[in-house]
Every structure is written in structure tokens, then in C-alpha cells.
Amino acid sequence: MKPLCVAHRGCHWHCYENTIQAFEAARDGDFWGVEMDIHLTKDHQWIVHHDPDFLSNGKKIVIKDEKFEDLLKMPLDNEWNYEAYCPSLDDYLKTIHGSGKTPVIEIKPKNPSFKYLKKMIKQVKQYFTLDEVVFIAFYPWPLFKLQFLYHKKVHIQQLSEPTHPFIIKWAYRHRFGLDADFNCLNKEIVDKFHKKGLKVNVWTIDQQETLRQCEELGVDFITTNVFDQNS
């Protein structure tokens, strides 16, 4: 089975990851989904960036310590030396809306309150129905809360890495989909999730050999920096 491709932090081959430029490239490319990461600002707004901090003009900026409107104006230091900024959640959603691409939203805070998760969902529903979106997280608490609030209406996947093998059992027990490091998986695990009607994504797949192994495992999706649906 050929897995569906998710552009990791947008398509950032020639632009800075998790920026509008990367999301536009992914929107226009041959991908099933466009993955990104969100954090909460000091004034509890959702903003897009992978790490909890970034460099702007050589200065370290911690996202949770800054206000939303200020962060939007801070240029990101980057290796391509062009002007780029952290997008808002709305910016990301608007960019891929209508493209047929699936939003894949990684929730970075460990345990955001119900209030801020509801706010996130409200923003998402301005552009997509809940069954068109996938929410992922390393911490299970945001996923539990989304499951409690929206039940089967929301697609959730538990991120897993080899240092936390118990997480796979946790995800299976609570009927979370799985979004695992390739080294966590084998055919038995994939089949076990599929028998329960749960999807399996694998990250981050950038080698041809590993891509073919994912096909043999029968995973549903891969998150990648390299491949698209033509690979």
C-alpha cells in the first residue's frame, strides 16, 4: 500500500519551515497533508513555530513570554536570509484552505486548558470541518481533552518515539491513532491498530529504503521532508 504523504512543517526545501512560504509550497505540491506546530503566546493566542523559542536579529525570543501581535512582527533569523515570520494559526488555515490538503496540527503545549483548545477548534472550523483535520501531540493531555470534547468527530494521533515505548500501548488502549517514529514500529503493531480501525502515520521518512519499508508495513501516512505522492 502506498502511504499518503504529509509535508513536514510545510514544504521547506527552499524556504524556512513553518512559514507561509513553506505552507504555500506544500499547498501547491502533491501532498495529502500539511503538518505544522502551534504554541500559546503570553496572551493565549495560537501561533505557528516548531520550537518554544526562536532567534530574531540574534536575540532569543521565548514564545510564551511575548504577546501575539508583537511576535507576528519579529523576523525569524534563518539560513536563507530572507524575511520570514511566525504565522498565526489563522494564516496557516487560510493558506491551505480550498487546496484539498489536510491540516495536520501538532499541539506543542503539554496541557493547554479546555478554554484554549476550544478556541483553537473555533478557529479551525472557520475553514475546515473537524473530519478534515488531524491533531497530533507528544503529550496525551491535549488529545484526551479533544477526545472528551468532540468524541469521534475529531481525528487525533499520539506521537511516539523509541524512548517512550509505553506510549504505543497507551494510544491503543485509548483509541488514539498513532504517529510514530519509524524505529517504534513493526508489522504487528500496524496491524493491531488497523484491526481497531485506527490510522498509523510514520515520521520522518526521508530515505527511499525506509519509504519502501513503510509501504510493506502498510502504514496509512508518512511525514516527510523529501517525498510527495509521486515518489
pLDDT digits (tens, 9 = 90+) for 43-85: 999 999 999 999 999 999 999 999 999 999 999 999 888 899 9
Q: Please report the pLDDT score of residue 208 as a whole number.
A: 96
- When pLDDT is cut at 50, 70 and 90, the band that residue 214 belongs to is very high
Residue 1 has pLDDT above 80, yes or no: no
- When pLDDT is cut at 50, 70 and 90, the band that residue 109 belongs to is very high
Q: Give dist(CA 72, CA 84) in Å, integer.
A: 10
To the nearest whole number, what is the mean pLDDT of the chain?
96
Please classify residue 188 by burial: count the beta carbons closer than 10 Å to its beta carbon, then call 0-12 exposed, 13-18 middle and 19+ buried. Answer: exposed
Please classify residue 52 by burial: count the beta carbons closer than 10 Å to its beta carbon, then call 0-12 exposed, 13-18 middle and 19+ buried. Answer: middle
The amino acid sitting at 104 is: V
- As given in the structure block, the three cell numbers for residue 9 are 512543517
Read off the pLDDT of each residue in 25-31 and give the average, rounded to a whole number: 97
The neighbour count for residue 179, using CB atoms within 10 Å, is: 27
